[in-house]
A and B are shown apart, each in its own frame.
Chain A
Amino acid sequence: MYPHERSLVQKYENKPFAIVGVNSDPTPEFLRTVMKEKDLTWPSFFDGGGTGGPIATRWGVRGWPTVYVIDHNGIITDGHRGNLDEVIERLVNEVPPAK
């Protein structure tokens, strides 16, 4: 997954796109080490130290990774059910230019 995410971040570097992670690793130190070693530049919520953390529990996540695509208005899309790259490309192009 990391190479795909890295390529998305690069492709949309100056576009209205962001990756936001919810991480279930054991400690913030562990997360910092992974981010540094794997060159992960996007932010993640630290979810309490395990797959039973509060965010994943509330969202009913049962498998990892699980992704959602949220549009620029904050609306959940069907992105996770289709071709991720195509959906993101379409949604990013739909974002009206900043005034």
Chain B
Amino acid sequence: MRATVLFGVLLLLLYCAAARGQDTKADPVQQQLDALLAAHEASELAYADAYRAFLPRFEKFIEEHRGSEPEARATLWLIQQTWWLREGNSMEKVNGAAMPLAEDLLKRHADSPQLDLLVEYKYNFSREQRETLFNRLLEISPHASVKAAAHFGLAQGSPARDEDGSPNEHFALLTTEFAKVKWRETTYGAIADAYLNPLSPADLAPGKPAPEIEGIDHNGNPMKLSDYRGKVVLLDFWGDW
């Protein structure tokens, strides 16, 4: 069963790699990186061991293709993987390795559309490092997608609402100027709205009416939680991992 899942994931990765390859007119350097990323993803080694095993190959790739867009992606992989340098609860080595890599990346790739990944990998940076890095992204990136990600990273660094109840400055921008910018398969506007209007534990306590959920199903068709009124519902937050 596990092998089937792994095989499925591998197929999906290859499919994504192929789709991206077409976009970049089958750039052989991108294809080389896609193969490397897929091989790492499919590795059956423990995560930390897989990092150590693949590190030399990524470093060699970075050296050989310095300045190219695939190299930016490979450097982002290095930044993501610094997580495995942590010692117990100490993030000192992780923060110490991730930040120089990120600063160097910004010098060489200020206009890369892939810099939003720095926000995805924010767990590898200290609070102060995040502030510095994400503000820098706002200054240098020409891409709305990167700026939106940077605002999202900064928005999460302080309470969602100021004392007067208004959204913090970054969430305010995410619900207006950047509301339609995509985050994966949804938008920053939708995510910001959820952060600004969260359900409290009291809202979800036994005896309370279940809040409505309006969304889409696996085929993109609209569905609502209240469609199931009249039935006992097991509401199940899940993912295949």
Contact = CB atoms under 8 A, between A and B. Distances in A.
A20 B191 contact: no
Given A54-B193, A58-B199, A95 B209 contact: no
Contacts, number: 188
B229 A19 contact: no
B87 interface: no
Interface residues of A, number: 66
B228 A18 contact: yes
A48 B190 contact: yes
Given A20-B225, A20-B228, A70-B210, A47 B215 contact: yes
Which secondary structure characterizes the binding site on chain A?
mixed
Given A31-B218, A48-B190, A60-B198, A22 B235 contact: yes
Interface residues of B, number: 49
Interface string A1-38: 10001001000000011111111111111111111011
B194 A50 contact: no
Nearest to A62: B237
B229 A68 contact: no
B186 A8 contact: no
Given A20-B234, A75-B207, A48 B191 contact: yes
Given A22-B237, A26-B184, A54-B190, A72 B232 contact: yes
B194 A58 contact: yes
Contact of B186 (A44, A49, A91): A49
Contact of B232 (A30, A49, A55, A92): A92
A1 to B, nearest CB: 7
A70 B235 contact: yes
Interface string B200-218: 1100111111110101111
Given A46-B218, A55-B194, A68-B210, 14 more contacts: A19-B236, A20-B225, A23-B239, A30-B12, A35-B218, A48-B186, A53-B191, A58-B211, A70-B232, A72-B231, A73-B229, A76-B209, A76-B210, A95-B232
Interface of A: 1, 5, 8, 16-35, 37-38, 43-61, 64-79, 81, 84, 88, 91-92, 95
Interface of B: 4, 8, 12, 183-186, 190-191, 193-195, 197-201, 204-211, 213, 215-220, 223, 225-226, 228-241
